[in-house]
Amino acid sequence: ELVSSQRAFCAVKRDGSVVTWGDPNSGGDSSKVQHQLRRVQKVVSSYDAFAAILLDGSVVTWGDERSGGDNCQSHLRSVQEIAASGAAFAAILADGRVETWGDDRYGGDCSSVKAQLLDVQTICGSAGAFAALRRGGQVTTWGGADYGADSSRVQGQLKKVQQIHSTFHAFAAILENGSVVCWGDADSGGDCSSVSDQLVDVLHISST
């Protein structure tokens, strides 16, 4: 597996070890945590940091501290999935709760919606916000307002959501009936009203 940040690469080898290269300020130097990077299962990246999930469900991070690479997540256990924004990470635990870290302006602080973040199935990140899909098809969003964190305009429509996708500044959700709900910056795809009559029986969404 090969993962990239803005200016660095991370390769996950067959034996679960990791090799990094590129700009040290963008995660290209993992030497400080190399001894911890064993039995790596998955690596995700923000703009300038990486986060690795190990086989035991713990997490190791490195890179720019402001982008979530401060490696202060040693308390995390049973991590199932990690999503990234431009400068923050969000981890789903085995019990469906969520832990976040990184720049608060980019979704690194989920305290305002913590009570809603239960039974989370998956999380999608834009450049500066997160959208969590909960069991039952409800959606909770947080992070930077300019990046799609405010879903209040469409929250009443976000029922029985099956998938969530993102651009840099917006989100799009596919509902159980195949229709699509969008929110965020209109110029980044956050307004699909002009094609809403065509967005029926949608199976998948791709974004630039």
Taking only the tens place, the pLDDT of each residue in 96-117 is: 999 999 999 999 999 999 999 9
- Percentage above 90 pLDDT, the chain: 98
Q: Say which range, 5-19, 66-80, 137-151, has the weakest mean pLDDT.
A: 66-80
Q: For 149-174, how does the pLDDT look when each residue is reduced to its tens digit (9 = 90+)?
A: 999 999 999 999 999 999 999 999 99
Give yes or no for a contact between 94 and 80, defined as CB atoms under 8 angstroms apart: yes
* pLDDT at residue 72, as a whole number: 86
Q: For 11-55, how does the pLDDT look when each residue is reduced to its tens digit (9 = 90+)?
A: 999 999 999 999 999 999 999 999 999 999 999 999 999 999 999
How far out from the chain centre does Cα 141 lie? 11
- Percentage above 70 pLDDT, the chain: 100
Q: What's the one-letter identity of residue 154?
A: V
* pLDDT at residue 71, as a whole number: 87
CB burial string 21-45: b at 16+ within 10 A, e below: ebebbbbbbbeebeebbeebeebbb
For residue 82, give every residue at least 6 positions away whose Cβ sits within 8 Å of its Cβ, in sequence order, or none: 42, 44, 51, 53, 59, 89, 90, 91, 92
CB burial string 106-115: b at 16+ within 10 A, e below: bbbbbeebee
Q: 30 vs 70, 135, 190, 200, CA distance in Å?
A: 12, 36, 37, 46
- Please tell me the distance from the alpha carbon of residue 21 to that of residue 120, in angstroms, as a whole number: 33
